[in-house]
Structure formats: C-alpha cells, structure tokens
Amino acid sequence: MAHETIAFVNQKGGVGKTTTAVSLAAALARKGERVLLIDLDAQANATSAAGLGEVTGPSIYETLMQEAEPRDCIVPLEEEKFDLLPATRELSGAEVELAPAIAREQRLKNALATVADDYDWIFIDCPPSLSILTVNALTAATSVVIPVQCEYLPMEGLARLMETLTLVRGSLNPELRTLGLVLTMLDRRTRLAREVAADVMMHFPRQTFNTVIPRAVGLAEAPSHGQSIFRYRPGSRAATAYRRLATELTERAGGSA
Ligand code: ADP
Ligand code: MG
C-alpha cells in the first residue's frame, strides 16, 4: 500500500493547490521516494506543469469511467522522476456522467487499489470545487493538505471545507486526517498577507505547517516551462521552501524520507 494518499484540496481556485502538489511530488521524488501525482482537474494544470505537453493515451477520465486500467494511464516523467496520471478537458464531462452511477464516490479509491503497492506517496490535485470529483479524492485519500493563499481572507471558505471534511469522515472515509494547512504566496511586504498568515495560524495552530511558501516569480513561471521549481530554479528560495515543506510533510505523515 502507498504510505500516504494525500488530496490537495481547497474549493477556491488559484490558492496554490497544483503548485504545491507538483512541487512536493518533485521534492519527494528527488529523495528517491516513489510518487504518483494524479491530476483530478479538467483544467489539467498539473499535467502541463509536470511537463506533459500532450496527453496521447488514456487519462484520469478513462480511469473514472472504468474504460481503462489506471496502470495503462500512468506516464512516468523521466526528468521529474515521478509518475503522472494525467487529465484532459474531457474530465469536465465526468461530473454529469458519474451522477447516476452506483458507488460513484468510490471510483477513484477502487481504481487506486490496483496501483497503491507501486508507490510510497499518491498525491491528488483537486479541482476548485467540492464536486463529486473532490469527493472521490477525499474518499480515496488517507489525508488532506489544504493550501491557503496569503492574499485573501480565507476563513469563510475554510469553514465550509472543514464541514465537508466532517461529512466525508461521517460516511465515506472515517480515517481521513487533516495533515495540515500550507500558507502560500506570502509577500511579507504586504500587511494583508501578514494578517492572513497570522489569522490562519491563530485558528489552526497545530495544523498549520511551519514552512510558509513565499510569493516567488519562479513558481509563477515554472508551469509554462513544464518544469517543477527543482528543475526551473533549483537554487531559489521557493525551491528551498518546498524542500522544507516536503520534510515537514514526511514527519507529519510519520514516514522516513
Ligand atoms: P490552484 O491549483 O489552487 O488553482 P495554482 O497552484 O495553479 O493554484 O496557482 C495559481 C497561480 O499562481 C498559478 O499561475 C501559479 O503558477 C501561481 N503561483 C502559485 N504559487 C505561487 C507562489 N508561491 N508564488 C508565485 N506564484 C505562485
Ligand atoms: Mg489547480
């Protein structure tokens, strides 16, 4: 079994879910961990950010529709050293198509059971909603990581997200842990950013990771080059921050990487 299956979740878009999932996948892969990154967003940002320009084979859509085995959809990324289960635009249809299906919340969990032994970590990059796709991720996951953008007051959205997690624990996945909240895009020069960071740390003192991800131009540019920060700017502060976060993540997950 994979050591930990983590859903990167927040129903707000643009908070750093994809950046954090891709960067942590790359960080752990560089330490020799076996990592699978699953792109569960029809925008396919993780797929392109990880460097897969064009998806030629089956994708997460076919996996969820039970038209292909997950193993046949997974693409190894030579440069980044982790594996990717890519998404395409087609995934936007999955919502409607899954609506009448039996055990529709369990599709991803069941699919992943067939590949879990091949990985130490499985990361799921969620779409910006609390849709059936996100519920699939929360059902398949052992834990969640919640990226929070420091430029936007997040408490209302976080309260809704926490409610959803409570609902999922009550029915589909009692064991689901909250591994932590990650503060992203911190610009220490702005007062709002400092206030948001302080507010989140006050409300979630134990759950907020100590490592804060700075706003960094390298992180904004890397996706358009199809490279993780560890290829694009390995010596940057942003790379150092994500390396630290990977260490903290491993400690919280109780692992050894
Ligand atoms: P989400 O997946 O939650 O929608 P993304 O990870 O795609 O969010 O981030 C939104 C945008 O912000 C992307 O263009 C990304 O490149 C950029 N970005 C993410 N994190 C940072 C950061 N720490 N500094 C600068 N830009 C960032
Ligand atoms: Mg995203």
Nearest to 121 by CA among 2, 251, 240: 2
Q: Which domains does the chain have, with CATH numbers?
A: 4-146+218-248 (3.40.50.300)
Percent of the chain with pLDDT over 90: 92
Nearest to 50 by CA among 125, 119, 111: 125
Return mean pLDDT, the chain: 96
> What pLDDT does 1 receive?
60
Give the Å distance between the CA of 111 and the centre of ligand 1: 29
Kindly report the number of other CB atoms within 10 A of residue 252's CB atom.
16
How many Å separate Cα 161 from the centre of its chain? 15
Question: pLDDT digits over 99-125, tens only?
Answer: 888 889 999 999 999 999 999 999 999
Distance between start and end Cα atoms, the chain: 16
pTM metric for this prediction = 0.97
Give the Å distance between the CA of 188 and the centre of ligand 2: 24
Check pLDDT > 90 for residue 237: yes
Please report which ligand is nearest the Cα atom of 22: 1
Residue 186 CA: nearest ligand 1 atom is: 23
Confidence of residue 151 (pLDDT cuts 50, 70, 90): confident
Give the Å distance between the CA of 207 and the centre of ligand 1: 21
> What pLDDT does 53 receive?
87
Percent of the chain with pLDDT over 70: 98
Q: What letter would DSSP give residue 17?
A: H
Check pLDDT > 60 for residue 64: yes
Q: Using CA atoms in the order 57, 22, 126, 124, what is the torsion angle rounded to 10 degrees?
A: 70
Check pLDDT > 90 for residue 194: yes
Confidence of residue 183 (pLDDT cuts 50, 70, 90): very high
Lowest mean pLDDT among 4-8, 98-102, 225-229: 98-102
Check pLDDT > 80 for residue 255: no
Which residues form ligand 1's pocket by a CB distance below 6 Å?
13-19, 45, 128, 184-185, 213, 215-216, 219-220, 223
Nearest to 20 by CA among 251, 255, 211: 211
Q: Choose the residue to mutate in 9, 12, 17, 19 for probing ligand 1, maximizing ligand atoms within 8 Å of C-beta.
A: 19
Q: Is 65 helix (H, G, I), strand (E, B) or coil?
A: coil
Distance from C-alpha of 23 to C-alpha of 19, rounded to nearest angstrom: 6
> What pLDDT does 40 receive?
98
Identify the residue whose C-alpha is closest to ligand 1 atom 26: 220
Question: Which pair of tokens denotes residue 2?
Answer: 């994979």
Give the Å distance between the CA of 172 and the centre of ligand 2: 24
Check pLDDT > 70 for residue 257: no
The answer to whether the CB of 106 falls within 8 A of the CB of 138 is: no
Check pLDDT > 60 for residue 256: no
Confidence of residue 2 (pLDDT cuts 50, 70, 90): low
Give the Å distance between the CA of 138 and the centre of ligand 1: 22
The answer to whether the CB of 148 falls within 8 A of the CB of 200 is: yes
